Structure 1
Amino acid sequence: MSKKNIVLLLAPSVLILMGFFVFPLIVVLNNSILDENGSITFQHYLLYFKDQHYLSITLRSLKISLITTFITLVIGYFIAYFTTKYIKQKILKRIAYILIISPLFTSAVVRSFGWMVILGNNGFINKSLMGLGIISEPIKLLYNETGVIIGLVYILVPFMILSITTVLENIDTKLEEAASDLGLTPLQTFIKVTLPLTVPGILAGSVMVFSLAMSAYVTPAMLSGGRVQLIATVIYEQMMQVFNYQFGSAVAFAVLIFSFLIIGLNHYILRSDWIEEGRR
């Protein structure tokens, strides 16, 4: 295939990427470095990084995103491992995958409303615990960080499962059989063979979940009732309520740069020597 044909084939994708991704980024960057008079300035970035209020919100967003990523990793790895290793029939495995991705077909608003019903003082969880006599009064699971984390874990766990499942499906079963023949127990085989080979999937899933948790707005806003401010909330308020597009753009672009750094770190780790040693 000639270079001219390759360029023609790539042209639609490049145009779409430029129109829906690159151009909006240029607009956001342009807004973030201009003041009211149109002069170039970095005062919006300085305000974001120096103001203790925005710093605390950023740290809270990082904390919630990291906790969400960790819980999602634990739950996602267990489900992915069970689905891959213990469900052998193809039809059952397909049903399992459909159940895993089915929440993605529902709007985030609908899912958040569902969790508001479940986590409320008169919700399923509190009523069940009180009915069993485990608690005497409702546990505060809604309108706080706990509710936000629960909602984010539920919404983002399919991404972690799919990332890890993709790697587990491609692991040669002969490696685990060889480890067993050499006298390793199932736990030792998992720690020394399976787990190192699934590190790329773990990293990919973790980066995806962390980035989505950092930028999530609908779920935290609904499950916190506006009581837990996150970085996405700040961007929305500055853009849509205060109409301070310059500062909102600066915060959005700073978060974007941070996400790119996380992706770059993930790429570096995947290319590092200890990952290669684990694969060997």
Structure 2
Amino acid sequence: MTTSLPPQAIGPVNRWRFLGHLAEMLVAMILGMVLLGPLWAALPGAAALLARPDVAVLVMATDMTAGMSLWMRYRGHGWGAVAEMGAAMYAPFAVLLVPYWTGLLPGHALMTAGHVLMVPAMLLVMLRRRAEYGAAHHRHRTAGRGLLERRWPTLLGLVMTLACWVDPMLPPAPVLLVLPGTYLVIGLFRGTLRGGGVLALQLAGLAGYAALAVAALTADPGTARYLIAAGWLAHAAWDAAHFVTRRIVPRDYAEWCGVVDLVVGVTILFLL
């Protein structure tokens, strides 16, 4: 379990850390919108609902809150701080919806004003806990690492592939080359391709995926789908092997890549 320490255990406030906390949360909010937005749009009848400004702003606030909350928990903030910051996401819209519903505020102004007021609302919440937000992250973490902190690559991979379950797609066959190619690039930069036939094995994998991509390009659509799915699923196993052996790429990357590969392969195989 991860909780916030009391202010007296955190130490003096650092303005750059304070602003850094704010910047991180803003980035997490944007990612929440980018990653979760397509899911709402894919729901039956969503287009008509999202065309309403009042619904659109509440959905957007929800997406931003989800991204920000996940990041805050990863950074070690307690549920109280997360709940307060989540309330700051909705508060501006809760105030502005009244004049919108009464016809005093146009829809575009509702969206713009809500986003402008959101940052001051966040700052007010942060100032209430200035000691927490002005401290280094490790100072307000407990010794135990929670699920979110330990398995963040898995959670990130699942979030990034949510759209695959709603609107599955078939990646072009040449994309298969990116899977082993990325391992080679990372290995070259990290200097982890030396010795023990490591480079030869990675090049063999690249050659195998090149052959698979060519086969998929020349096959009929039905067969090509199975070949592409097999490529993604095989690379998930490749990721798992590298995760266990801790070779070539960082374990976090192998974990994240394995989740993405598995979801893409499964959705191609069973949902297309």
Query: Normalization by structure 1: what TM-score?
Result: 0.26
* Higher normalized contact order (CA 8 Å, seq sep 6+, divided by chain length): 1
Query: Normalization by structure 2: what TM-score?
Result: 0.26
